[in-house]
Amino acid sequence: MAKLTKKAKTLATAVDVLKLHGIDEAIALAKTHATSKFDETIEVALNLGVDPRHADQMVRGVVTLPKGTGKTVRVGVFARGAKADEATAAGADVVGAEDLMDAIQGGKIDFDRCIATPDMMGLVGRLGKILGPKGLMPNPKLGTVTMNVAAAVEAAKGGQVEYRVEKAGIIHSGIGKASFPAEDLRANFDALVDAVVKAKPTGAKGKYVRKVAVSSSMGPGIKVDTAEVAGA
């Protein structure tokens, strides 16, 4: 186990690690413990009663955070002709076809989200081993394989985030920056939880949302009382 730094130990002792907090209190505490020189991200960890090794217990989707993410998101789009023009007009940062594939194969991935028109998936499929592990592979279920590239680009830049349950049954997601007003972070928290609850898989057994914690990038985890979490 990695040793805690002196600062981490100080922060951890400043929070009662056993106490369950209300959502608003947890967000306020997370903001208080965001003391780094950079604007830390406020993060949420949702421990779900699922085993993602089983296909009928996978939880994955997208949600638009109403108050945005506070991050500048670079978007890459695989498209040709008029659709490429639409993507560029909508604000895509990188647009291309074979040229974009060559750049990616050469090690240049200059985007955070990747979108493709359906006719480009034969090309994009060759990049699966590169884009897949980075979570960048376009997926029709996530709205990133679409003919409506303009809307997809605008959504990606307008606060839409992807969430996916990890092996341990936990979803990690940012809900904004520590500089955000507490009420904006709460609005984003509620939007994320609502989306995850609605995405409850058919194979989930027992209590769905088992544990919730809020933290800043460098701060301690602050436990949230799941009784306050709608749909838990």
Place of tokens 């979570």: 135
Q: What is the pTM of this model?
A: 0.83
- Summarised one tens digit per residue, pLDDT across range 74-119 is 999 999 999 999 999 999 999 999 999 999 999 999 999 999 999 9
Residue 228: pLDDT band (50, 70, 90) is confident
SS3 track for the chain: CCCCCHHHHHHHHHCCCCCCECHHHHHHHHHHCCCCCCCCEEEEEEEECCCCCCHHHCCEEEEECCCCCCCCCCEEEECCHHHHHHHHHCCCCEEECHHHHHHHHCCCCCCCEEEECHHHHHHHHHHHHHHHHHCCCCCHHHCCECCCHHHHHHHHHCCEEEEECCCCCEEEEEEEECCCCHHHHHHHHHHHHHHHHHCCCCCCCCCCEEEEEEEECCCCCEEECHHHCCCC
Of 10, 21, 6, 11, give the one whose Cα is nearest residue 217: 11
**Domains, the chain, with CATH or none:** 13-69+160-228 (3.30.190.20), 75-157 (3.40.50.790)
pLDDT > 80? residue 18: no
- Summarised one tens digit per residue, pLDDT across range 132-151 is 999 999 999 899 999 999 99
- Summarised one tens digit per residue, pLDDT across range 183-215 is 999 999 999 999 999 999 998 888 999 999 999
Instruction: Give Cβ neighbours of residue 66 (< 8 Å, ≥ 6 apart).
Output: 159, 187, 188, 191
Tell me how far apart the alpha carbons of residues 229 and 22 are, in angstroms, rounded to a whole number.
9
